[in-house]
Structure 1
Amino acid sequence: MKCLLVFACLSIALCLAAPAPEADIIELVSEVNADNYNYKFETSDGTKQEQHGSLKNLGPEEDALQVAGSYSYTGDDGQTYAITYVADENGFQPQGEHIPHL
């Protein structure tokens, strides 16, 4: 569970560092519990992110963090890019219209 808390705190810290310097945070919601967490934020430049994570029991003495979320932002070309993802024992699995499908 310590790993979950550390991961959640690092994720939130990295995400808050991500907005451009000229963007203000207009919404921020964060909840961290012993076995799960949720957060979301939106900035004045239209960047949005939300994520939730929880522990998944893989066996008698093995837990894994499973995370799901999404983010969107406006690129330098003016287009809005949106990504949804899952990260679990199978790795990071992003999906988005601009991401090539394998």
Structure 2
Amino acid sequence: MKTLVILWTLINCAFSQSGVRPLRQSQPPGQAANIIRESNEVNIDGSYQWSFEADNGISAQESGQIKNANSQDPIEEAQGSFQYTGPDGAAIQLQYVANENGFQPQGAHLPVAPPIPIEIQRALDWNAAHPEEEEGGRNSRRP
């Protein structure tokens, strides 16, 4: 992830210096999106933030930092969001955190797992309340 963050930052810096914009919404031919707001900051401590907004309604932002920088296992963490209008006209908004627990997106358009059936939940609850019966194998009980 560290390499990805550094690579993304370098690409962003290179594109912002050259005037070329790396991220664009697919649009009909002849319609270009113009960046109307953009910021990019990389700090010596490894923290960074970037954001942009295009005239077609696409916007994105991200900030990141190193947690536990003075430990043997520093952890990189990024949080951000983006939004755009889908082909069907629906507004798509996504927020995310990426850290030692992986990429964790949140958005109203993302699918949600169905609820656990009550019978399975009861079995899980019972197993959690009776771990001693699982230790010795099937149907074993200790006096």
TM-score in same-fold range (> 0.5): yes
Q: How does 1:1-102 map to 2 (within 5 A)?
A: 3=3, 6-9=6-9, 12=12, 16-20=21-25, 22-34=32-44, 35-57=46-68, 60-102=71-113
Structure 1 outlier segments of 4+, above 4 Å:
2-5
Aligned pair count reads 100
By relative contact order (CA 8 Å, sep 6+), the higher-ranking structure is: 1
Give ranges in structure 1 of 5+ residues lacking alignment.
none
Identity %: 36
RMSD: 2.6
Which structure is higher in helix share? 2
Identify unmatched segments of 5+ residues in structure 2: 16-20, 26-30, 114-143
Greater radius of gyration (CA): 2
Q: In structure 2, what is the Cα distance between the partners aligned to 1:26 and 1:40?
A: 11
Q: Say if 1:78 and 1:4 are closer, same or farther in 2 by CA, change over 3 A.
A: closer
